[in-house]
Structure 1
Amino acid sequence: MELISSRARGAAFLLLLLLLHCCQIDTILGQKSDRALTVVENTEGREGGGADEEAEVSVDEDEGDLEVVQPTEDWQTLKPGQAVPAGSHVRLNLQTGQREVKLGEEQLKYWTQEHKETEEHQSTISPVELKRAMKKMKEDLNPVSKDTHQQDSVASKYRPLEELRRDMAQLDLLVETDVQIMKRLLDQFNSSKCTTEQKLSLLLELEYLVHQVDNAQTLSSMGGLQLILEGLNSTDFRLQESSAFVLGSAVSSNPEVQVKAVECGALQTLLTILATAQPIRVKKKVLFALASLLRNFPYAQRHFLSHGGLQVLSELFRADGGGVLRTRIVTMLYDMISEKELISQAGLDLVLDASHEERVRQYSEVSLQGELLEKGWCNLVPQLLESTEHDYREKALRALLAMAPMCLDQYRSHSSLLGSLLSLRDQYQEMVQSEMIVGEENGYYAEIVELINALHVKMKR
């Protein structure tokens, strides 16, 4: 019985405390607010160590002109008479007895700093900015004035059409065609006041222009080849070099200019320069001009042989110790042999036109093989194999193979040719192994080995 009585007394005491606590809350609510609020208990949790209660508050529709507080992410105190937007979180701080509010979860989700700045800016529009905006709206609604202003702005940036036409007409007077440029250059070159330095500059400009077939033909019709030949006969080796460069570029792959150059005596002039003492830089350019003049031109090749061209080249080959001129000479001879061979093979076709038959006939009159054998070229070309330059050796091997049909007996009787070929093959086979290590199975050195083997096979037959 005593145990039951003590339990009853404890329960009564707790009930009394609960009633007093509820009365205190009702008193505080009655003092702090004269507006009806709906408090929804926050079941997700409590803050402030159980000292505060959190609720969601909605304001009655008959609020009138209330001062609406804009909630933030942090709790802020509500003053009497202030209202909050729907969806805000409101709590009663039991320690201070004041209401506090902050953004609700859905509001906080979409409430970013950018939105805050936008709202603050929109809420603080000054009267001046409002007037400016209204003025711009009126201008946009008036397309006539807007278009007029835009046209004036565009007109101020561009020049009138009449002025442009006048300027273009003046520019047309300053534009020169290639023909006009070459005529002007030739007139300046032929002038008595033109210095050597100026002539060198003019020749450089001409060389650039005559790479085009039409320009080279125009230069020839203007008498430009005669001026170039005068430069070749000059005592100044610089003019000789530049003139030979222009001539070689003009006749290259240009049959019409090749014919006129031979008629003007260019072939004899080039051979004369090669036969006389000249700097090596001059002879290099003269050999370039000679090779361009003879290429694919059997008429010029026949005159070259009849004027002792191979004899001039053989003396130049023997005198050259560096190999630069030798390589150019051997390359030119190889081209001449290959051209005739290709024409002869094409002549075996059943269907031939008249022009091709004429070319076959002209090449048949060029006795190049016999002249090479007679002038000792079968023993001269192997000397180029002694060079340490791979390119020189390659050119020599190709020429030796092309000359093999007429020079096999001389090759076999040559005292050191076979030994040189075997030594070179061993040397290049080692280089081929190095190429294969780096993944080059058909490299440059392998090609040289094939040339050596092909020549060796011909000599062993």
Structure 2
Amino acid sequence: MKLISSSVTVAFLTCISVASLLLLHCRHVAADLRSDSALTVVENAEEGGGGAGGDEEEEANVNIEVIQPTEQWQTLKPGQAVPAGSHVKLNLQTGQREVRLGEEQLKYWTQDHRRGEESHSFSSPDELKQAMKNIKEDLNPVCQKRDQHYPYKADDSVASKYRPLEELKKDMAQLDLLVETDGQILRRLLDQFNSSNSTTEQRLNILLELEYLVHQVDNAQTLCSMGGLQVILDCLNSSDFRLQERSAFVLGSAMASNPVVQVKAVESGALQLLLTALATTQPLRVKKKVLFAVAALLRHFPYTQRTFLSHGGLQVLLELFRADGGGVLRTRIATMLYDMISEKELISQTGLDPALDAANEDRVRQYSEVSLEGELLEKGWCTLVPQLLESTEHDYREKALRALLAMAPTCLDQYRSDSSLLGSLLSLREQYQEMVQSEMILGEENSYFAEIAELIDVLQVKMKSP
């Protein structure tokens, strides 16, 4: 029994000794780890609370070096602390810890860093005052000192980068460049045209430039106020066909959708000159341009339309229509008739509106005085226009069909008794139906041929209706 108790006592003492040694070893290892590789996290100064142990913690962390992370990885030395929220990793290749800003910190740091760089140069009130003073000095042209021969240098102020208008004019004058307004250009062209030294070729070029300019409404009116309209009308009586053609072209372009010029042209006797040019022997190209001018003068102008009819205008067009073998003049004449009839019909429909003002009522009255329908029936236009359907040009046929539909209320009886018209409509309908079907097979719908076929169908329905 004694021996057993002694053995137990020795074993017990041995265990206590081993445990004590292990405990001392662990404390030594922990101390080493703390001194070499321990990671200390320091709370941000803004988040520092006022706890009971705050002073003790500050005193304990006085000697701790706190590293300030950036967006790049930095090596973390032993004994260094990092702010809360930082991203710490162990580099397996070097065996050292590395630190950088966390994801949220990195995002806001980038934005703040950019703002800081933008506003860094004006961070103090004194610098802002100096900057404002510099701006005022830069914008003050009196304070600018320029060299007489080379006034614009790279280090000049902001205002010196913009050259005065007078200097620009001087430089352009040295380069033989002339800045002109449209009115100045019109005056110069008229002076050149009226100059006795100008040749026919120069006058033709001047008329071409004028035609381009008068498309603008203000320029056309300015040309009239300068006396240019009379110059153009005088050219219509020229013996040179080229001048007649160009002057008619300029006149038509100036009057198009320009009531002011239309009125001045009528007052200057333009209608009589144009009708004379159409009635006399002229080349085809001259008559085309003269017809263009006549159409521009008549459009939306009931007074001129009435004057045109009273001066035998339809008779002049009738002679042209009969003499034209190619169909170019016939097509233009049919379009003019369609425009005049459609305008009057449209105004007559609006005249039924009880809410019309005095100006519209006067316009309706003026159109009612244009006796176009009676002239068409009397002059035989109901049998002349259908002849245009014999053309092989689709455009000519389309213009003829539209004119025939516009004239239908006046010429319907003549249409029904015209066997050649009935035969032409039947033949054309079959032809265009085949074209439409061919296009439908190819996947094309609402084509130009379908539009012509529809015009034929509408005209046939009108002719069959009682």
Measured against the shorter chain, the TM-score band is 0.5 to 0.7
Tell me which of 204, 209, 219 is aligned to 1:205. Answer: 209
Q: CA deviation at 1:445?
A: 1.1
Amino acid at match of 2:277: I
1:338 correspondence with 2:332: no
5+ long unaligned stretches in structure 2:
1-91, 95-151
How many aligned residue pairs are there? 318
1:443-458 map, 5 Å: 443-458=447-462
Q: Deviations over 1:278-319 (max 9, x none)?
A: 111111111111101100000110111011000000100010
Q: Cα distance, 1:358 vs. partner?
A: 0.9
The aligned runs of 1:61-460 (5 Å cut-off) are 154-155=154-155, 166-170=166-170, 174-460=178-464
Cα deviation, 1:57-106, whole Å, max 9, x if unaligned, reads xxxxxxxxxxxxxxxxxxxxxxxxxxxxxxxxxxxxxxxxxxxxxxxx95
Pick closer, same or farther for the CA change 1:162–1:249 going to 2, 3 Å.
closer
The structure-2 alpha-carbon separation of the partners of 1:165 and 1:224, relative to structure 1 and needing over 3 Å to count, comes to closer
CA shift in 2, pair 1:437/1:160, >3 Å: same
2:238 is paired with a residue whose SS is coil
Listed one character per residue, the Cα deviations across residues 259-289 of structure 1 (whole Å, up to 9, x for unaligned) are 1101111111111111111111111111111
Please, what TM-score do these two structures have when normalized by structure 2?
0.65
SS in 2 for 1:244: helix
Partner SS for 1:440: coil
Equivalents in 2 of 1:215, 1:162: separation in Å?
32
What's the secondary structure of 1:154's corresponding residue?
Answer: coil
Deviates more, 1:272-281 or 1:434-443: 434-443
Q: Distance in 2 between matches of 1:327 and 1:165?
A: 54
Deviation of 1:162 (Å): 9.3
Q: 2:253 corresponds to which letter in structure 1?
A: S
What is the identity, as a one-letter code, of the residue corresponding to 2:368? Answer: S
Q: Name the CA shift for 1:314/1:153 in 2 (closer, same or farther; >3 Å).
A: closer
In structure 2, how many angstroms separate the alpha carbons of the residues matched to 1:456 and 1:163?
Answer: 72
Residue segments in structure 1 that go unaligned for 5+ positions in a row: 1-104, 108-151
Structure 2 CA distance for partners of 1:424 and 1:190, relative to 1, 3 Å = same
TM-score normalized by structure 1? 0.65
- State the alpha-carbon separation in 2 of the partners of residues 367 and 434 from structure 1: 44
Q: What residue in structure 2 maps to residue 28 of structure 1?
A: none
| TM-superposition CA deviations, 1:307-332 (whole Å, max 9, x none) | 10000001000100000111011001
Q: What displacement does 1:367 show?
A: 0.3
Counterpart amino acid of residue 418 in structure 1: L
- Which protein shows a greater Rg? 1
Amino acid in structure 2 at the alignment position of 1:275: A
| Per-residue deviation, 1:163 | 6.9
Give the C-alpha shift of residue 415 in structure 1. Answer: 2.6
Moved more, 307-316 or 437-446: 437-446
| Aligned residue type for 2:309 | L
Over the matched positions of the two proteins, sequence identity in percent amounts to: 77
Aligned to 1:13: none
Cα offset for 1:169? 4.1
By how many angstroms is 1:164 displaced?
Answer: 5.1
Deviation at 1:372, TM superposition (A): 0.8
Give the secondary structure class of the aligned counterpart of 2:375.
Answer: helix
Residues 423, 251 of structure 1: alpha-carbon distance in 2 compared, 3 angstrom cutoff: same
Kindly state the Cα deviation for residue 440 of structure 1 after the two structures are TM-superposed: 2.1
Query: Residue 195 and residue 428 in structure 1: after superposition, are their counterparts in 2 closer, same or farther (change >3 A)?
Result: same
Distance 1:264 1:302 in 2: 17
Shift of 1:154: 2.0
